[in-house]
Amino acid sequence: MHIQTAAVHTLKDLAHGAVVPPVHLSSTFELDRASEDGQYAYQRGANPTRAQLETVLAALEGAAHGFAFASGMAATAASLSTLSVGDEILLPASVYGGTYRFVDLVLPGRGVTGRFVDDLGALSDADFTPATRAVFVETPANPTLRITDLRRISELAHRHGALVIVDNTFMTPVLQRPLELGADVVVQSATKYLAGHSDMLAGVITTNDDALADAFHLSQVAQGGVLAPQDSFRLIQSIKTLPLRLERQQQNAEAIVAHLRDRADIARVRYPGSHSEEEAAVHASQAVGGGAVLSFELADGLDRVAFLQALRYPAYAVSLGGVESLICRPAAMTHEAMTDEARRAAGISEELLRLSVGIEDLSDLLEDLDQALAAAAR
């Protein structure tokens, strides 16, 4: 099945013939009185509706296993749960601020070291030590939109016995399938594109590795950060329109990138592949589009605050991937957990703005950006 068909038709309610499978809200399930067995026992361990969602997630990714968590950070934390005392993980310097916070403040208490690399694409054998057990990748990176070659990084990491964990939130399996490129684990903040309406928190993990799957299920059972049945049901329904939404969002984003690049009042526009021809070629080889997030800086002399205040449509808010456009300043919002030095190393300036493009009419978005830029120049 193509991904749009899989998004709609993966689930079938064979017992009742319902086009939309029911929601199972029960927190506990009756067991056989003699054997004490049952497919389900307690919602934290498993729930029919969450199991349906996890089936859909695995199908979209072409994975053997899928897991649903209560937030993107819960999924990210679970993906790092296989690390042990003395282990090291390599990450890009510009990694999402929530992931940076977890690696910087939580993992050291567990005896795990995080090493942030300025350019993950330049990683070589010399960067690995006997303690290196995982490489965490964002491609495109947030918010610099830098690209990492997933095939090369997977081959390199596996040569040193390290896992490759990919945060695929920006691309989703519609545009990029990291497991097919050599990655071991894919995490996503389903709050973003998968849910798509800025009205729920959720996180997902997919993998083909049976041992890792056991570890992620243990994380669900032992730590309890699972997705509730109602949200699981809503996410199933939202995923059905994911390819359609993302197609429109990407079309809008590509047009906005082209429009802003032609303006003298924009100092720089970042979009997947914009850093170099090499990165553009890599991205084209492993993804089928640039997605719907871009970042940019206003030219010198323009008033950033006036620009933001003049915008009518993009909300000034964190998050991304919703049907409505959102704009934020990463240095103060999504990456505020970083030190000033860490943000500079990551290439995140104080003036950088990140725009998540929605499904609004393109002409309205372009007109809004133009009038806001005019206001910023007064």
3-class state of residue 268 by DSSP = strand
Q: What is the DSSP string of 269-312?
A: EE-TT-S-HHHHHHHHHH-SS--SEEEEEEPTT--HHHHHHH-S
44 belongs to the catalytic site: yes
Q: Which of 87, 167, 184, 231 is catalytic?
A: 167
The per-residue pLDDT for 14 is 67
b/e code 285-295 from CB counts within 10 Å (16+ = b): ebbebbbbbbb
Q: Where in the chain are the domains? A: 242-376
Q: What is the CATH number of domain 242-376?
A: 3.90.1150.10
pLDDT tens for the 378 residues of the chain, in order: 788 888 888 887 767 788 888 899 899 988 878 887 888 888 898 999 999 999 999 999 999 999 999 999 999 999 999 999 999 999 999 899 999 999 999 999 999 999 999 899 899 999 999 999 999 999 999 999 999 999 999 999 999 999 999 999 999 999 999 999 999 999 999 999 999 999 999 999 999 999 999 999 999 999 999 999 999 999 999 999 999 999 999 999 999 999 999 899 999 999 999 999 999 999 999 999 999 999 999 999 999 999 999 999 999 999 999 999 999 999 999 898 888 888 888 889 999 999 999 999 999 999 999 999 999 998
Q: Which of 44, 240, 248, 304 is catalytic?
A: 44
Helices (H), the chain: 3-9, 48-61, 72-79, 97-101, 150-159, 172-175, 210-223, 229-239, 242-261, 277-286, 304-310, 340-346, 362-376
34 Cβ contact list (under 8 Å, min separation 6): none
How far apart CA 209 and CA 63 sit, in angstroms, is: 9
Q: What is the mean pLDDT of the chain?
A: 95
Q: Which of 133, 146, 192, 343 is catalytic?
A: 192
How far apart CA 314 and CA 307 sit, in angstroms, is: 11
65 membership: H or E segment, kind and range: strand 65-69
Q: Which of 50, 87, 96, 146 is catalytic?
A: 96
The per-residue pLDDT for 257 is 98
The per-residue pLDDT for 47 is 93
163 Cβ contact list (under 8 Å, min separation 6): 82, 133, 134, 135, 157, 184, 185, 212
DSSP character for 331? T
**How many CA atoms lie within 13 Å of 221's alpha carbon, on the beta-carbon side?**
11
**How many CA atoms lie within 13 Å of 59's alpha carbon, on the beta-carbon side?**
20
192 belongs to the catalytic site: yes
The per-residue pLDDT for 341 is 87
How far apart CA 313 and CA 26 sit, in angstroms, is: 41
The per-residue pLDDT for 339 is 83
How far apart CA 135 and CA 144 sit, in angstroms, is: 18
Residues 254-301: tens digit of each pLDDT: 999 999 998 999 999 999 999 999 999 999 999 999 999 999 999 999
